[in-house]
Amino acid sequence: MNPVEVIVEGDAHTLARRAADVVQEYLGSTQDPVLGLATGASVLPLYGELIRRHHREGLSFRRVRSFLLDDYIGLGPEHPQCYGNLIEAEFVGHVDIDPENLYAPDCGATDPDLECDRYDRLVTRAGVGLQILGVGRNGHLAFNEPGSSFESRTRVVQLAAATRADNARYFDGPDQVPALAMTQGMATIRQAAHLLVLAAGPSKAEAVRAALQGPITSAVPASALRLHSRVTVLLDPSAARLAGLGG
């Protein structure tokens, strides 16, 4: 196993700048950048910094092909929490990514299993160079909940109660959060050349400790990060504290 690169920064702004540096370095390293995008609170400061660099410093995403990790099943295509719409509002709509180069699972697909197979092939053919990830409080990656096989592919999953509770703030209560989702599998995610993982806040501290220092087990999907050849984990002090990182 290659060691995971762990960086602890003192505040959200510094963390976002360090993460944006990784993204910008990747974009400058290839003529055909393929960027894996995540949604959620952990990555919003990063997207804000990338938007700032686009408008203030001329950072361009024109050549980027981007792929979302996951999406809910059962939301209409116009629903604001459909992740294709969400990433448009939070990031893609503010930079020069060609909308035709933004790919996501179809949250309105009539056959979700068939859609998962189609999307898995699409992601695999593209070859993600840099995948942005957050970590759930229960150690999930994308919507790969505890118990997910490290060999899993893009598929339909049942969301854990903890995940639905965490995401209820984006809906009109927990009962409005879809119970099913489509997600890239653990093996699909691990195909990316470089994984960039962000976690901030005390609620992520136990998941970070388990992922970085506990057993490598499907009970903690994020522990699979330690099996990958190139991983950068960016933490704030509160997320790092139980792992004894960053002082």
Catalytic residue among 9, 115, 120, 140: 140
**Which candidate in 85, 138, 144, 167 is catalytic?**
138
> Encoding tokens for residue 89?
């509002």
Among the options 106, 120, 145, 166, which is catalytic?
145
Task: Report the alpha-carbon distance of residue 185 to residue 120 in Å, rounded.
Answer: 9
Catalytic pick among 9, 70, 106, 115? 70
Is 145 one of the catalytic residues?
yes
Residues in the chain: 247
87: part of which helix (H) or strand (E)?
A: helix 83-90
140 catalytic residue (yes or no)? yes
Q: Are strands 70-72 and 65-68 parallel, antiparallel or unpaired?
A: unpaired
Handedness of CA 24, 44, 69, 187 (dihedral sign): positive
Cα–Cα dist 182/139, whole Å: 18
The catalytic residue positions are 70, 138, 140, 145
